[in-house]
Amino acid sequence: MNGQKIKRRVGKYEVGRTIGEGTFAKVKFARNSETGEPVALKIIDKEKVLKYMQAEQIQREIATMKLIKHPNVVQLYEEQINFDSNVADGKSDQLCYELNLLAYVMGSKTKIYIILEFVTGGELFHKILNSGRMSEKEARRYFQQLINAVDYCHSRGVYHRDLKLENLLLDAFGNLKISDFGLSALSQQVRDDGLLHTTCGTPNYVAPEVLKDGGYDGAAADLWSCGVILFVLLAGYLPFDDTNLLNLFQLRITISEIMHDEWFKKEYKLPVFEETKERNTDDIGAICKDCEVHNVREKEDQPTPMNAFELISLSEGLNLENLFDVDQGFKREIRFTSKCSANEIINKIEEAAKPLGFDVQKKNFKMKLKNVKAGRKGNLNVATEIFQVAPSLHVVKINKAKGDTLEFLKFYNKLSTRLEDVVWKTEDDMDDAK
């Protein structure tokens, strides 16, 4: 080897240092060995995608970026990549096309590779963190670029859903670049009511209606986040920096109204760029073909999603101490968390309840348990429901629907001993962790 260090290569790209890391992926600096052009190489771990059932999210992120080509959005590159038998990714995985995927998405046995524009200026968040608030002129320039990019995304049926300073990058010329479309939604995901229904985003930036169950308009939610970003640019701190998210007002301004505002129009320059022709996204599904059966979809055959926002909203006044109901020292509702699948939890509860003399009715990850033997206050009826906190974590709620509270507690104690292999954390464990 003559003492020379062998550079790791993916296709025609020489891979360098890690510049970012998340749950499912690493982003590394890379360079096109033919042109010398720097790029960002996003390396997604297929095993983790499968484990956490995020294949659909990865596919949606790639499909979204294929739809967008705007000067203020991080670009997904479209360069032809030739493979040969000598190319390896450092782990002896032979690279190959997966059903003739377009060149900027490559696959191996264990990895998915996405080649992105390399943006050198860092996060807008760090600019505020290091220098504090901006002048109106500087803030206006960034806000104009943000609004132009968001407006373009919406025109293509793309809703970002996680706009925040950390996801706004700066290039070498100080221009803004929107990144990270991992939580984005496409217009095809809008339900018959014309709304999106998946709760997601970052607490300080998320619109209040996103936290509710009634659905929300993706464009209006993005625009709320843009307003929060503008506030931070001008003030140097977040406008909503507490837990009282559900009391926020729901008034909205439209992009058209922003663009016609005198403050916005000052020194405004319309972006000039050439939009590419319509792109085909039919090939996206092949990326995670081997993970297809594990996809998490927004269907009625999945447990109701419950994230941190909804856990908070369950508690009165957003005080976590009120998360669990207590009645004269007796809990009429008990929760525990489980790392088992929803179907496994349902089956285990049914297996445990029937020997205790309960009839079981199941529907849509909800169960009704009725004791055939009447107690002091008639038959004890117990209701259970499973909520999905994360793909690999569920909250199970068990509450007394009818009957005596003391009998309910005795029933739960017997039930819990039969569910030892299902329960991950009980309420007491959660209370101890506070």
String of DSSP letters for 398-410: EEEEES-HHHHHH
Secondary structure string (H, E, C) spanning 275-339: CCCCCCCCCHHHCCHHHHHHCCCCCCCCCEECCHHHHHHCCHHHCHHHCCCCECCECCEEEEEEC
Check the annotation: does 42 bind a ligand. Answer: yes
Nearest CA among 338, 399, 341, 400 for reference residue 365: 341
Give the contacts of 21 (CB within 8 A, at least 6 positions apart): 27
Residue among 186, 286, 202 nearest 245 (CA):
202
Helix or strand run (H / E) with residue 348:
helix 342-353
In terms of Cβ atoms closer than 10 Å to its own Cβ (0-12, 13-18, 19+), residue 396 is buried
All residues at 6 or more sequence positions from 356 whose CB lies less than 8 Å from its CB, including other chains: 371, 411, 414, 415
> In this structure, are residues 11 and 80 in contact, taking their beta carbons and an 8 Å threshold?
no
Residue 146, token pair as written in the block: 């943000």
Give the C-alpha separation, 338 to 135, whole Å. 49
Q: Which of 162, 242, 261, 290 is catalytic?
A: 162
The neighbouring-strand residues paired with 176 are: 170
162 among known catalytic residues: yes
* Distance, CA of 431 to chain centre: 27
Look at residues 145, 155, 223, 211 and name the one whose alpha carbon lies nearest to residue 186.
Answer: 155
Contact, 300 vs 388, CB < 8 A? no
Report the distance separating Cα 298 and Cα 151, nearest Å: 26
- The half-sphere exposure of 399 on its side-chain side, counting CA atoms within 13 A, is 12
Coil, strand or helix: which one is 394? Answer: strand
Question: Which residues are documented as binding site?
Answer: 42
Residues classed as catalytic = 162
Question: Which residues are documented as binding site for ATP?
Answer: 42
